């Protein structure tokens, strides 16, 4: 996912094909890299029909369900009767008139922003701490990556047990402080959303760490050495050289954390089920509850709205983050 | 790339056209002919049957399956559907996946949710019907006068579980005889420093019982028929009043101090330990107590009485572990096998079943084992003159308990609870095509 940039000239450092973590068009233009002109050769090397297997998978598993999602939102599909009739914008009108959708959307946005902040903060800190390739660091990196491959529901249930009023965390706090601590970490209508966002971030911070580590590896050692010779300390090097050069990694990490947690469900369902008092009811939990009531069309409408919101949010966010890369 | 795009567009259009002629994959197969009922011991070698069960009901059929497999040579497999069970089953059925039998809440609202007329086998002429206690025969399991569910154990009754020792220590010898005396007893206990009521706001689902028992008299008077017809709503004085009363009692401090976070398990522990005097709950709560204490201890410490504004009237609420439904799968042999299993369950296999489950028998000819605790028998005795709960009588089952839990957490006012419940009820009723919505 990270382009190798070990060469010395600009064209060697920056391959022409841009990837997720590669250069933005603007950056490529600044460095005078041609991004077109390879079409004919590419067409000979990679005939279009090579795409067919991937395209079939894409259409069957992603495209058709999305189309279904659009179509069913305009019907009255439910578990109560066999016939499915088109009802126009009825579901949208009902949904927009009820305040629940807006509340759930607000909760989802707050959650996504919190996750994006925490996950990147933790991931970046870990990457900086474990940057050097020592044996210990390698082992610790693996340890921090383990939660990423764990089942999200399992993570949620483990934390639910740890954070219960009579759970392990309060037990440790009681033992350390000498007084009885029985805080309901998942029972506060204001702060529980922060706690579940922290759990989500804990699960995924290993992935951010990995990507930041890869980003750090691509930074030219000569440049860091030059900075050192110029008398730059650790923090000056970090803020003026490393962080700006990590821009592609930041783009990927922030975008995936923010947009991925908009679709969050598993961690929150396992820890709070949307409670207490609906303060952690993400849109997906609301959708799940509606679907469970047998109101399939309404649930589909909500997931369509979520899809649209994520799409609307994705463009400016990714555009803004890619713009930052132009300084490279 | 252009060709690929064209291809994608063509496929998309094809998919859309297919959809335009779409039908519900969960629409039922099978015929609507009156079913014949095979003998209980008819040979079923080579036939395999599947029963869907929830995590708390997947061992219920053990003795029946063992007996049935030996008698008929059939193979019966129990598949556990993870919680939330009802949502899981509905989703599977909606996408065309069906078992032969499933545990299912036998109420009209839940039978509607499965689209019973097209998905379930009618059980109208079942051979076991005459064996039932006449008072319980038609209490539930019917939708529009067609029977779709076979009741296997006594439906849960909403009422008050109490700790006998706590009441005796406080000098209370007379059990409350109606709602007002119940609340007054609570206040007296509070004055003596005892926590009168215990509620599980953390696990949420029991919050609705406090509202529902207050509605028992109104329910007997046709409240849910009026709600079903859209003539009365949750925001009208009857239901709103019950919600307000519940809120008032919480504000008054008559409940446990950790009401916001307490769980189902905490509630059972608290009543057994005597940390609280009363718990308004249903049968599954007693199952929780049975998991924590033996019959002798329960008989000594725990009692049950039904409650309603006018007196000791229970509110019944059958749940998923009380009944089974048989699906129309389109395979006539399996459908007949499913009916045969039910005949055996409520026929020759029933005594083994109630003995194995230590549960109250629904059939006068089948004796209830001595191992059944007194409180469970009291709860079952309350059944005959009880009235139906919202789940039993309303055409839809809105998330009243979630909204009440929100009220306990302080994020909804009692008025908002009623509004949210009504809005959801109306949406469900409209989706069912109920007149008036």
Q: Show the 3-state SS of chain A.
A: CCCCCCCCCHHHHCCCCCCCCCCCHHHHHHCCCCCCCCHHHHHHHCCHHHHHHHHHHHHHHHHHHHHHHHHHCCECCCCCCCCCCECCCHHHHHHHHCHHHHHHHHHHHHHHHHHHHHHHHHHHHHHHHCCCCCHHHHHHHHHHHHHHHCCHHHHHHHHHHHCCCCCHHHHHHHHHHCCCCCCCCCCCCCCHHHHHHHHHHHHHHHHHHHHHHHHHHCCCHHHHHHHHHCCCCHHHHHHHHHHHHCHHHHHHHHHHHHHHHHCCCHHHHHHCCCCCCCCCCCHHHHHHHHHHCCCHHHHHHHHHHHHHHHHHHHHHHHHHHHHHHHHC
Residue B304 near residue B383, CB atoms below 8 Å: no
The overall average pLDDT reported for chain A is 86
Residue B359, pLDDT score: 87
Residues B227-239: what's their mean pLDDT? 95
Whether residues B296 and B405 fall in one domain: yes
Q: Does B203 touch chain A (CB under 8 A)?
A: no
- A-chain residues near B427 (CB < 8 A): 94, 295, 298
Whether residues B269 and B139 fall in one domain: no
| Cα distance between residue B1 and residue B6, in whole Å | 9
**Burial, A63: exposed, middle or buried (Cβ in 10 Å; 0-12, 13-18, 19+)?**
middle
The overall average pLDDT reported for chain B is 87
Give the model confidence (pLDDT) of B142-188 as tens digits: 888 899 999 998 888 999 999 999 999 999 999 999 999 999 999 99
By C-alpha distance, which of B106, B159, B195 is closest to B397?
A: B106
Query: In this model, does residue B429 exceed pLDDT 80?
Result: yes
Residue A294 near residue A80, CB atoms below 8 Å: yes
Instruction: State both tokens at A189.
Output: 């209508």
Q: Among A14-28, A40-54, B241-255, which stretch is predicted with the lowest mean pLDDT?
A: A14-28
Which own/partner contact pairs does B424-428 have at CB distance under 8 Å and 24+ positions apart? Answer: B424/A293, B424/B396, B424/B398, B424/B399, B425/B227, B425/B234, B425/B394, B425/B396, B425/B398, B426/B230, B427/A94, B427/A295, B427/A298, B428/A293, B428/A294, B428/A295, B428/B395, B428/B396, B428/B397, B428/B398
Q: Does B417 touch chain A (CB under 8 A)?
A: no
| Share of residues in chain A with pLDDT > 90 (%) | 61
The enclosing domain of B424 has a CATH number of 3.40.190.10
Residues A80, B420: C-beta atoms closer than 8 Å: no
| Cα distance between residue B432 and residue B437, in whole Å | 9
Q: How far is CA A63 from CA A20, A57, B15, B62, B174, in A?
A: 21, 9, 10, 45, 68
**Burial, A59: exposed, middle or buried (Cβ in 10 Å; 0-12, 13-18, 19+)?**
middle
Q: Is residue B338 part of a domain?
A: yes
Q: Does A65 touch chain B (CB under 8 A)?
A: no
CA B99, chain centre distance (Å): 20
Give the model confidence (pLDDT) of B278-309 as tens digits: 999 998 888 889 888 988 899 999 999 999 99
Residue B238, pLDDT score: 95
Residue A3, pLDDT score: 44
Query: In this model, does residue A121 exceed pLDDT 70?
Result: yes
- Best mutation target, B200, B409, B432, to test chain A (most A CBs within 10 A): B409
Instruction: Calculate how close chain B gets to A17, using CA atoms only, in Å.
Output: 17
**Contact partners, residue B27, CB within 8 Å, separation at least 6:** A82, B115, B118
- Best mutation target, A79, A101, A185, to test chain B (most B CBs within 10 A): A79
Q: How far is CA B105 from CA B155, B320, B359, B437, in A?
A: 10, 4, 18, 25
Residue B43, pLDDT score: 86
Whether residues B188 and B237 fall in one domain: yes
Residue A44, pLDDT score: 73
Structural domain of residue B83, as residue ranges?
A: 29-155+319-366
Residue A23, pLDDT score: 59
Residue A46, pLDDT score: 78
Domain residue ranges in chain A: 89-327
Whether residues B294 and B422 fall in one domain: yes
Whether residues B99 and B197 fall in one domain: no
Tell me if the bond preceding B231 is cis, omega within 30° of 0: no
Residue B60, pLDDT score: 87
How many CB atoms sit inside 10 A of residue B109's CB? 22
Whether residues B138 and B198 fall in one domain: no
Instruction: State both tokens at A96.
Output: 């927009």
Query: In this model, does residue B323 exceed pLDDT 50?
Result: yes
* pLDDT bracket for residue B2 (50, 70, 90): very low
Query: In this model, does residue A12 exceed pLDDT 70?
Result: no
Of the two residues B94 and B250, the one the predictor is more confident about is B250
Instruction: State both tokens at B383.
Output: 């059944």
**Contact partners, residue B18, CB within 8 Å, separation at least 6:** none
Residues A294, B431: C-beta atoms closer than 8 Å: yes
Query: Please, what is the Cα angle at B170 between B278 and B280, to 5 degrees?
Result: 5
Query: In this model, does residue B18 exceed pLDDT 80?
Result: no
Q: Is residue B5 part of a domain?
A: no
Instruction: Calculate how close chain B gets to A325, using CA atoms only, in Å.
Output: 28
Whether residues B271 and B182 fall in one domain: yes
Q: Does A278 touch chain B (CB under 8 A)?
A: yes
Q: Does A302 touch chain B (CB under 8 A)?
A: no
Give the model confidence (pLDDT) of B120-145 as tens digits: 999 988 888 888 888 888 888 888 88
Give me the CATH code for the A89-327 domain, please: 1.10.3720.10
Give the model confidence (pLDDT) of B237-285 as tens digits: 999 999 999 999 999 999 999 999 898 889 999 999 999 999 999 988 8
Q: Does B110 touch chain A (CB under 8 A)?
A: no
**Contact partners, residue A236, CB within 8 Å, separation at least 6:** A227
| Cα distance between residue A50 and residue B1, in whole Å | 11
Residue B196 near residue B190, CB atoms below 8 Å: yes
* pLDDT bracket for residue B1 (50, 70, 90): very low
Whether residues B264 and B336 fall in one domain: no
| Cα distance between residue A2 and residue A321, in whole Å | 16
Residue B19, pLDDT score: 45
Q: Among A219-228, A248-257, B368-377, which stretch is predicted with the lowest mean pLDDT?
A: B368-377
Q: Does A83 touch chain B (CB under 8 A)?
A: yes
Residue A13, pLDDT score: 46
Give the model confidence (pLDDT) of B396-420 as tens digits: 889 999 999 999 999 999 999 999 9
Residues B90, A292: C-beta atoms closer than 8 Å: yes
| Cα distance between residue B357 and residue B360, in whole Å | 9
Q: Is residue B19 part of a domain?
A: no
Q: Does A81 touch chain B (CB under 8 A)?
A: yes
Residue B241 near residue B184, CB atoms below 8 Å: no
| Cα distance between residue A12 and residue A31, in whole Å | 12
- Name the β-bridge partners of B197: B255, B278
Q: Is residue B85 part of a domain?
A: yes
Residue B215 near residue B316, CB atoms below 8 Å: no
* pLDDT bracket for residue B44 (50, 70, 90): confident
Residues A228-252: what's their mean pLDDT? 92
Give the model confidence (pLDDT) of A189-201 as tens digits: 899 999 999 999 9
Residues A45-70: what's their mean pLDDT? 89
- B-chain residues near A165 (CB < 8 A): 258, 261
Give the model confidence (pLDDT) of B349-389 as tens digits: 899 899 888 888 888 888 888 888 888 888 888 888 899 99
Residues B11, A59: C-beta atoms closer than 8 Å: yes
* pLDDT bracket for residue A248 (50, 70, 90): very high
Instruction: State both tokens at B20.
Output: 């335009």
Residues B178-204, buried b or exposed e (16+ Cβ, 10 A)? ebeebbebbeebbeeebbbbbbbbbbb
Q: Does A94 touch chain B (CB under 8 A)?
A: yes
* pLDDT bracket for residue A275 (50, 70, 90): confident
Residue B431 near residue A294, CB atoms below 8 Å: yes
Whether residues B261 and B133 fall in one domain: no
Q: Three-state DSSP class for B341?
A: helix
Residues B28, A67: C-beta atoms closer than 8 Å: no
Q: How many domains does chain B have?
A: 2
* pLDDT bracket for residue A31 (50, 70, 90): low
| Share of residues in chain B with pLDDT > 70 (%) | 92
Residues A264-269: what's their mean pLDDT? 94
Handedness of CA A132, A133, A139, A143 (dihedral sign): positive
| Share of residues in chain B with pLDDT > 90 (%) | 51
Whether residues B193 and B172 fall in one domain: yes
Whether residues B49 and B188 fall in one domain: no
Whether residues B173 and B262 fall in one domain: yes
* pLDDT bracket for residue A5 (50, 70, 90): very low
| Cα distance between residue B217 and residue B180, in whole Å | 14
Q: Three-state DSSP class for B238?
A: helix
Residue B77 near residue B52, CB atoms below 8 Å: no
């Amino acid at each position: 996912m990270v382009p190798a940039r070990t060469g010395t000239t600009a064209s060697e450092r920056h391959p022409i094909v841009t990837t997720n973590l590669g250069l933005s068009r603007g950056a490529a233009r600044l460095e005078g890299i041609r991004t077109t002109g390879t079409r004919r050769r590419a067409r000979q090397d990679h005939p279009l029909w090579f795409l067919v297997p991937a395209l079939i998978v894409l259409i069957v598993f992603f495209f058709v369900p999305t189309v279904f999602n659009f179509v069913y939102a305009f019907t009255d599909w439910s578990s109560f009767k066999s016939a499915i009739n088109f009802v126009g914008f009825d579901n949208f009108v009902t949904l927009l008139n009820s305040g629940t959708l807006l509340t759930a959307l607000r909760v989802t946005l707050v959650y996504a922003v919190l996750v994006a902040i925490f996950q990147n903060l933790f991931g970046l800190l870990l990457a900086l701490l474990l940057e050097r390739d020592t044996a210990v660091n390698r082992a610790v990196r693996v340890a921090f990556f383990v939660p990423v491959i764990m089942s999200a529901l399992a993570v949620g249930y483990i934390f639910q047990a740890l954070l219960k009023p009579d759970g392990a965390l309060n037990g440790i706090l009681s033992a350390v402080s000498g007084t009885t601590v029985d805080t309901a970490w998942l029972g506060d209508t204001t702060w529980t959303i922060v706690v579940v966002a922290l759990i989500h971030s804990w699960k995924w911070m290993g992935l951010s760490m990995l990507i930041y580590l890869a980003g750090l590896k691509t930074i030219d050692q000569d440049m860091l050495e030059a900075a050192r010779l110029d008398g730059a300390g650790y923090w000056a090097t970090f803020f003026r050289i490393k962080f700006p050069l990590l821009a592609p990694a930041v783009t990927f990490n922030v975008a995936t954390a923010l947009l991925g947690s908009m679709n969050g469900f598993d961690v929150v369902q396992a820890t709070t089920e949307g409670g207490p008092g609906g303060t952690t009811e993400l849109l997906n939990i609301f959708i799940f509850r509606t679907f469970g009531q047998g109101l399939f069309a309404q649930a589909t409408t909500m997931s369509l709205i979520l899809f649209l919101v994520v799409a609307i949010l994705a463009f400016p966010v990714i555009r803004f983050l890619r713009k930052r890369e132009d300084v490279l | 790339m252009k060709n690929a795009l064209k291809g994608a567009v063509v496929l998309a259009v094809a998919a859309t056209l297919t959809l335009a002629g779409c039908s519900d994959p969960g629409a039922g197969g099978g015929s609507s002919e009156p079913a014949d009922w095979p003998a209980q011991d008819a040979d079923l070698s080579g036939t395999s049957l599947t029963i869907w069960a929830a995590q708390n009901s997947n061992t219920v059929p053990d003795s029946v399956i063992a007996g049935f497999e030996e008698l008929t040579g059939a193979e019966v497999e129990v598949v556990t559907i993870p919680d939330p069970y009802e949502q899981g089953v509905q989703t599977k059925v909606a996408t065309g996946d069906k078992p032969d039998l499933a545990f299912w809440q036998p109420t009209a609202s839940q039978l509607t949710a499965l689209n019973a007329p097209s998905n379930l086998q009618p059980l109208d002429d079942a051979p076991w019907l005459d064996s039932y206690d006449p008072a319980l025969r038609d209490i539930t399991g019917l939708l529009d006068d067609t029977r779709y569910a076979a009741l296997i154990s006594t439906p849960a009754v909403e009422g008050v579980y109490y700790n006998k020792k706590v009441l005796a220590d406080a000098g209370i010898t007379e059990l409350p005889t109606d709602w007002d005396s119940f609340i007054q007893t609570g206040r007296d206990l509070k004055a003596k420093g005892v926590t009168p009521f215990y509620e599980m706001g953390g696990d949420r689902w029991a919050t609705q019982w406090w509202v529902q028992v207050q509605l028992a008299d109104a329910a007997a008077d046709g409240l849910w028929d009026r709600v079903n017809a859209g003539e009365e709503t949750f925001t009208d004085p009857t239901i709103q009043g019950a919600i307000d009363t519940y809120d008032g009692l919480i504000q008054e401090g008559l409940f446990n101090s950790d009401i916001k976070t307490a769980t189902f398990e905490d509630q059972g522990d608290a009543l057994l330990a005597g940390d609280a005097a009363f718990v308004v709950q249903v049968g599954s709560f007693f199952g929780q107590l049975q998991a924590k204490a033996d019959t002798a201890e329960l008989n000594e410490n725990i009692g049950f009485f039904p409650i309603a504004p006018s007196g000791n009237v229970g509110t019944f609420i059958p749940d998923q572990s009380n009944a089974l439904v048989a699906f129309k799968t389109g395979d006539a042999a399996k459908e007949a096998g499913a009916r045969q299993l039910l005949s055996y369950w409520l026929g020759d296999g029933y005594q083994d079943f109630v003995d194995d489950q230590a549960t109250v028998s629904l059939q006068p000819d089948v004796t209830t084992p001595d191992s059944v605790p007194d409180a469970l028998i009291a709860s079952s005795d309350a059944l005959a003159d009880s009235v139906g709960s919202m789940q039993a009588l309303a055409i839809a089952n809105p998330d009243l308990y979630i909204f009440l839990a929100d009220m306990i957490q302080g994020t909804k006012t009692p008025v908002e609870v009623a509004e949210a419940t009504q809005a959801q009820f109306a949406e469900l009723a409209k989706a069912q095509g109920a007149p008036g919505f």
